[in-house]
Amino acid sequence: MIKKTKLNHPVLVAAWPGMGNVALRAASYLREELNAVEYEKIEPQDFFSVPTVLIRNGLIENIKLPESKFYFWKNEGGKNDLLIFLTAAQPIGGKEIIFSQLILEIAKKAGVEKIFTFAAMSTTIDHRTQPAVWVTATSPGILEELKKFSLNTMQEGYIGGLNGVFLGVAKSANFEGACLLGEIPFYATQIENPKASLAILEIFSKLFEIPLDLSKLSTLAQYMEKEIDHYLIQLKEKLSPYHFPDQEKDKGPQYIH
């Protein structure tokens, strides 16, 4: 434990990298804007692989494993303090459950009552429109609590990675929780989408009465919208038949792999 403190009805937010970097961006922004304080960390040696080493100026640098840290924030104007867990990578295959259980062990000692994760949902949405936020929960009570925000309920399907799996492990350990999923366009899942992160945090901050300034994230969302515009223009030019001047017109449709 880095810093001992008593938390008031804390809610745990946990996030890992995923599509559009939606989850990690939202949780990281939450930590940064609230100036959340380091609380505890999980030693990474048993949970992450080392596929490469970095070489600089002819010398091999020290191995750096992803950090896995908890941060806390005292909510003076609301009922719930926050405990935020961030890690820069998914654990290696086969370690997901034990990693989740370790996080939950720390959460239980801190007095956590509810757990939230964030994620992205790939849909046919256009990147210039306002993304909807979907929800799935571990209990009917949480779903009922979130109905006042007019969220779309995810009736069936799956959530890949620990942003989803962690809640399954949490439910088995008798924690209540939910995942908020921001829509992202299916054609840009590999591009960061702060607009989806923004939509999630707008809901989350209202739910727990968090005075969160979202202006920086809004500015980033506008910038990335233009970047996606630029990306699509380049892609259209690349796939245009005029990009292949030697192609004979009478050969019929051509397929690009």
Q: What is the pLDDT of residue 246?
A: 47
Q: In sequence order, what DSSP letters do the residues of 47-85 get, joined into one string?
A: T-------EETTEEPPP-PPPEEEEEE--TTSS--EEEE
Q: Which of 96-100, 155-159, 235-239 has the lowest mean pLDDT?
A: 235-239
CA distance 253 to 84: 52
- For 117-170, how does the pLDDT look when each residue is reduced to its tens digit (9 = 90+)? 999 999 999 998 999 999 999 999 999 999 889 899 999 999 989 999 999 999
Residue 132 three-state SS: coil
All structural domains of the chain: 11-44+65-240 (3.40.50.10900)
